[in-house]
Amino acid sequence: MIVTELHKGQGLGNQLWCYCVCRSIADELDVPYKILGSGNFKAKDFLDIDFGDASSIDEKYTIFHEQRFYDKQLDYVASSFDDRVLSLDQGTQIEGLFQSEKYFFDNIDRLKEYIKIQEEYKNLITIPNDVCILNIRGGEYKRYKRFNLPKSYWVNAMNSMKHKYGIKKFMVVTDDHDYAKALFPDIKIVKSGISESYIALHNTSFLIVSNSTFSYFPIKTKGEKPVVIAPKYFARFNDKLDKWASPANIYKDWLWLDRDGKLYTYDVCIEEVEELDFMYKNEYYILTNQEAINKKNLIYYIPASVKKKLKLILSKVFPRNFG
């Protein structure tokens, strides 16, 4: 049996990656699977997923940690496809990010079996075919200047949609209404509950996405492939090193926009990604240990109630900087 656990602190995108990869590995090895922490699943109200074998609740499992690599130049802990998963023993619990499409073993359609939208939610939000959705991520992203996408990314991507596909209408799906409104006061924001956001992304034909995992599964489980523009280099879009962070976050059929507004196909980008992946696995990059990954900074020790109040005040006064 292959097992994973959904944790309270995970976003929905991270939960779905762990769930789908656990099932995919189990299918590939032809063994059962089980998902622990089902009560923490953030989309139980509108998504149907199968948590697997409910037996042996108190069973102990061997823990398998996905390989992670610390890149000092980027100051980033990167992940990739860890081929050791194909040799896992029965009774293994996998822990990690697991955000590479390679974990689906050239069968992306299995995602449509793993994740199903509940019938009553399928048309919760409808998006006209001539509208492009901007999936703007704010919130805690604004604390990380190297990670948060600049306004120029969205402007250049919208211009590409206009010139390449004739799209002139735009709407926003966001986790941060104040931030999105500060960036684009004249663009309509879709009602921003988690179910509305997910369904809107699933039901649109043109998307500009952020460097977030949230948009991946509503896009990849659609019947017809949409046009998707994503930030080149993903977690380090605006970095002068022009270096992917990380090799896991490159996805087929998407277009990738650089900071100069130039679009690249997946086939062009994958060459850069594979070269970096080889370096991480074979040369001078440091394989992290779990202690380093779990290291907490000083902010972690501030009481949650104090952080919540402070963030709320700052997000109202400075919506483009705090969330």
Same domain flag for 160 and 224? yes
Residue type, 37: G
| pLDDT tens track, the chain, 323 positions | 999 999 998 999 999 999 999 999 999 999 999 999 999 999 999 999 999 986 656 678 999 999 999 888 888 899 999 999 999 998 999 999 999 999 999 999 999 999 999 999 999 999 999 999 999 988 777 677 778 899 999 999 999 999 999 999 999 999 999 999 999 999 999 987 899 999 999 999 999 999 999 999 999 999 899 999 999 999 999 888 999 988 999 999 999 999 999 999 999 999 999 999 999 988 766 676 555 545 544 444 467 566 456 656 655 665 665 55
Same domain flag for 144 and 187? yes
Give the count of beta carbons closer than 10 Å to the beta carbon of residue 320.
Answer: 17
Judge whether 185 lies within some domain.
Answer: yes
Pick the last residue of a domain from 94, 118, 142. Answer: 118
Phi and psi of 134, rounded to 5°?
Answer: -100, 115
Residues of the domain holding 190: 121-282
Go through the chain and tell me how many residues it has: 323
What is the per-residue pLDDT for 294?
Answer: 53
Phi and psi of 117, rounded to 5°?
Answer: -80, 135
**Is the Cα torsion angle 60, 293, 248, 113 positive or negative in sign?**
positive
- Identify the residue whose tokens are 């700052």: 314
Residue 319 in 3-state DSSP? coil
Q: Which DSSP category does 119 fall into?
A: G
Same domain flag for 76 and 40? yes
Task: For residues 204 and 230, give the distance between their C-alpha atoms in angstroms, rounded to a whole number.
Answer: 15
Phi and psi of 90, rounded to 5°?
Answer: -60, 145
Same domain flag for 113 and 185? no
At 199, which CATH number?
3.40.50
What is the per-residue pLDDT for 300?
Answer: 41
Phi and psi of 69, rounded to 5°?
Answer: -130, 130
Residue type, 110: R
Same domain flag for 60 and 148? no
Judge whether 14 lies within some domain.
Answer: yes
- Identify the residue whose tokens are 């963030």: 311
Same domain flag for 221 and 278? yes
Same domain flag for 148 and 261? yes
Pick the last residue of a domain from 76, 99, 118. Answer: 118
Judge whether 323 lies within some domain.
Answer: no
Same domain flag for 45 and 91? yes
Judge whether 271 lies within some domain.
Answer: yes
Same domain flag for 176 and 277? yes
Judge whether 321 lies within some domain.
Answer: no
Task: For residues 16 and 211, give the distance between their C-alpha atoms in angstroms, rounded to a whole number.
Answer: 16
Same domain flag for 228 and 125? yes
Task: For residues 64 and 88, give the distance between their C-alpha atoms in angstroms, rounded to a whole number.
Answer: 8
What is the per-residue pLDDT for 63?
Answer: 95
Sequence-distant (≥ 6) Cβ neighbours of residue 250 within 8 angstroms: 101, 234, 244, 256, 266, 269, 270, 273
What is the per-residue pLDDT for 192?
Answer: 74
What is the per-residue pLDDT for 298?
Answer: 47
Q: In degrees to the nearest 10, what's the CA dihedral of 177, 298, 285, 145?
A: 30
Task: For residues 152 and 101, give the distance between their C-alpha atoms in angstroms, rounded to a whole number.
Answer: 28
CA of residue 122 relative to chain centroid, distance = 21
Comparing CA positions, the residue from 52, 61, 53 lying closest to residue 20 is 52
Asked if residues 155 and 115 have their Cβ atoms less than 8 Å apart, the reply is: no
What is the per-residue pLDDT for 299?
Answer: 47
Count of structural domains within the chain: 2
Asked if residues 180 and 189 have their Cβ atoms less than 8 Å apart, the reply is: yes
Judge whether 313 lies within some domain.
Answer: no
Pick the last residue of a domain from 118, 152, 180. Answer: 118
Same domain flag for 99 and 13? yes
Judge whether 317 lies within some domain.
Answer: no
What is the per-residue pLDDT for 191?
Answer: 80
Judge whether 251 lies within some domain.
Answer: yes
Per-residue buried b or exposed e for 105-117, using 16+ beta carbons within 10 Å of the residue's own CB: eeeeeebeebbeb
Task: For residues 79 and 65, give the distance between their C-alpha atoms in angstroms, rounded to a whole number.
Answer: 11
Same domain flag for 44 and 163? no
- Identify the residue whose tokens are 């926009």: 257
Comparing CA positions, the residue from 245, 242, 203 lying closest to residue 222 is 203
Within a 13 Å sphere around the CA of 75, how many CA atoms are in the beta-carbon half?
5
CA of residue 28 relative to chain centroid, distance = 23
**3-class SS letters over 19-35:** HHHHHHHHHHHCCCEEE
